[in-house]
Structure 1
């Protein structure tokens, strides 16, 4: 009996049809993880860590055409032993996106683009200036290409390469006069690789 149940579950998971995965009217709920980095090097014993997780929800408004939004949450920290300095950054926001999938099999490449707006909170602690905080924001445009692998009609995995064009306004430190901007605006461009897990619902 146990063997029969296991075989049935395996067949339902791995062998169910996948052609309807991206049909019009279906919903996608998932999460992506990316921008993971750890560094521990340099003559000043610098240590840093950063990572991003982004829950997503989307709707197929047409077959293979997905429109949705993500809620990116990022955290990073940096520590410098000499001189004694620590910083922490937390950011959160919204990232609407659009993806178009190609093909009919379980492996489907896709192209898309996303726009992101994030609020950022930066905390600093140093031996000379004590503790301080700065609140700012960032915007980003991120065209991307990826590949989705459909384990079953309702389960998918994906790998995605993003090219991000980002503008960051770090804001003002709260212990410095308001007419002195502590951090200049920063414009950056970079590639990032993300990995995701999705669930699909609907007809």
Structure 2
């Protein structure tokens, strides 16, 4: 008899606790509510889907080769209205370029700071989103097997200024009210110019399709 009484009390306590928890969930603040913050990071890897061109006022566009890279981009933002966040992202990237017509190879590292706007759709725990950004930064590149006339230069180093803009979209899977895992696809256009070249309008232009995976924390 005592065992049945104990079991009844435990069962009653369990259902009371469950009801309290559900009631708390109903009154919880959705993660994309106005006034919340978003902090996160993402990574992307490009499988030769980038086309690299040289563009100048004096010559036609030239296709040079393909580029693969890895990047990580921590970011922080603030929801100015429900579902709409504005913030800034700092992207650190390393890349490797391979020429289609020669043995030229180059490695690069870059940093770009980009203000962004992101909008989430829907009221469920699976939310599609769209994002746009514009940024400025710098790049350092090291090349090997550069041929100039009849001479072969084993290595060169250049530093360039960067202007970039991009769009991306995807789906955020909310594990709870504080953490989401994001999957998406994006487009980035990057224009870079030699910092020491103050006379010509010679620029490198990269147009990239990226596949992104990352996470965000909301509070």
TM class, shorter-length: 0.7 to 0.9
Match of 2:128 in 1: 109
2:46 and 2:27 map into 1 onto residues whose CA distance is: 34
Match of 1:167 in 2: 191
- The counterpart of 2:38, out of the listed 20, 23, 28, is 28
Match of 2:72 in 1: 53
- Conserved? CA contact 2:85–2:117, under 8 Å: yes
| Cα offset, 1:26, TM superposition | 1.0
C-alpha distance 25-185 of structure 1, shift in aligned 2 (>3 A): same
- Residue deviations 1:140-168 (CA, integer Å, cap 9, x gap): 22122221110011110112222223322
- Conserved? CA contact 1:72–1:93, under 8 Å: yes
Give the alignment of 1:4-153 within 5 angstroms.
20-37=30-47, 49-78=68-97, 85-126=104-145, 128-153=152-177
1:24 and 1:59 map into 2 onto residues whose CA distance is: 8
- Conserved? CA contact 1:16–1:153, under 8 Å: no
Match of 1:42 in 2: none
1:104 and 1:17 map into 2 onto residues whose CA distance is: 14
- Give TM-score, length-normalised by structure 1: 0.72
C-alpha distance 48-189 of structure 1, shift in aligned 2 (>3 A): closer
Q: Secondary structure at the match of 1:163?
A: strand
2:140 and 2:173 map into 1 onto residues whose CA distance is: 36
2:118 and 2:168 map into 1 onto residues whose CA distance is: 9
Match of 2:217 in 1: 199
What do you get for the CA RMSD once the two structures are aligned? 3.5
- Conserved? CA contact 1:147–1:159, under 8 Å: yes
| Cα offset, 1:21, TM superposition | 1.1
C-alpha distance 64-164 of structure 1, shift in aligned 2 (>3 A): same
- The counterpart of 2:203, out of the listed 162, 181, 185, is 185
1:104 and 1:180 map into 2 onto residues whose CA distance is: 51
Gaps of 5+ in 1: 1-7, 40-46, 173-178
Gaps of 5+ in 2: 1-17, 50-65, 147-151
C-alpha distance 188-79 of structure 1, shift in aligned 2 (>3 A): closer
- In the alignment, structure 1 residue 156 sits paired with structure 2 residue 180: yes
C-alpha distance 133-106 of structure 1, shift in aligned 2 (>3 A): same
1:163 and 1:48 map into 2 onto residues whose CA distance is: 15
C-alpha distance 31-17 of structure 1, shift in aligned 2 (>3 A): farther
